[in-house]
């Protein structure tokens, strides 16, 4: 008993297979922060890490 095999190909890529994916805009980047904001963030991260270390040493 023969039956047909109909295969539907659904391509979800909308760019050339050899081309890379289109660039997506980054919602946030540390490189867009001002120097003062980066230094402030580094101080906050450092303080939080020191808090963990000092709490662990108790």
pLDDT in tens, 1-58: 566 666 656 656 566 677 778 888 878 888 888 999 999 999 999 999 999 999 999 9
Nearest 10 degrees: Cα torsion 46, 47, 48, 51: 120
Reported pTM: 0.51
The radius of gyration computed from the CA coordinates of the chain, to the nearest angstrom, equals 26
Report which of 10, 30, 14 is spatially closest to residue 22, judged by C-alpha positions. Answer: 14
Q: In angstroms, rounded to a whole number, what is the distance separating the alpha carbons of residues 30 and 45?
A: 14
User: What's residue 47's pLDDT?
Assistant: 98
């Amino acid at each position: 008993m023969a039956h047909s095999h109909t295969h539907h190909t659904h391509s979800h890529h909308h760019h050339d297979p050899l081309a890379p994916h289109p660039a997506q805009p980054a919602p946030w980047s540390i490189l867009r922060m001002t120097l003062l904001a980066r230094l402030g963030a580094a101080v906050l991260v450092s303080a939080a890490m020191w808090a963990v270390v000092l709490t662990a040493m108790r």
